[in-house]
Amino acid sequence: MEQNVKKKRIYTKPMTAEHIPEVAALEKLCFSAPWSAQSLELLTREGIGTGVVYIEDGKVVAYGGMLCVVDQGQITNIAVHPDYRRRGIGRAIVGALLKIAVDERFEEVTLEVRKSNEAAQALYRGMGFRAIATRPGFYSKPTEDGVIMTAYL
């Protein structure tokens, strides 16, 4: 007997000020040098930045942010709660940010990623980013080089 398993669709929504406390908690969980709630608020201000969240079971389990400058986007962070990883949520978050960039007619979107984070680099390459440079000692806690990756739209 064959079971019909329906694949769950991943949905994102715009990040608003009401999401900031949960996003700040996610930052602390995922990063050794997390952004403050005050810094995260920039991602909800029109003309400065934008953000998207993924909500499951009534809570924010992932988010991504992007600063917007003229015709360029700078992805700040992509964070997925450890219990929700390897399910395509990170890809959905990056895809939603790229869609915003295309809709805003950006020429490119750039991000930095830890040199040791090969899984993230593979995800970004699969979504059209390519490594263009290295920033020595860009990350702290621990100190590590950052790989600059850009997607040309």
Q: How would you classify the pairing of strands 49-56 and 59-69? A: antiparallel
**Residue position matching structure tokens 């499951």:** 56
Q: What is the pLDDT of residues 4-53, one digit of tens each?
A: 444 556 678 999 999 999 999 999 999 999 999 999 998 998 889 999 99
Residue 58 pLDDT: 86
Q: What is the pLDDT of residues 89-129, one digit of tens each?
A: 999 999 999 999 999 999 999 999 999 999 999 999 999 99
List the alpha helices (DSSP H) in the chain.
Answer: 20-30, 37-40, 89-103, 118-126
- CATH code of domain 13-152: 3.40.630.30
CA distance 108 to 1: 49
Residue 107 pLDDT: 97
Q: Which of 65, 62, 66 is nearest to 29 (CA)?
A: 62
Residue 119 pLDDT: 92
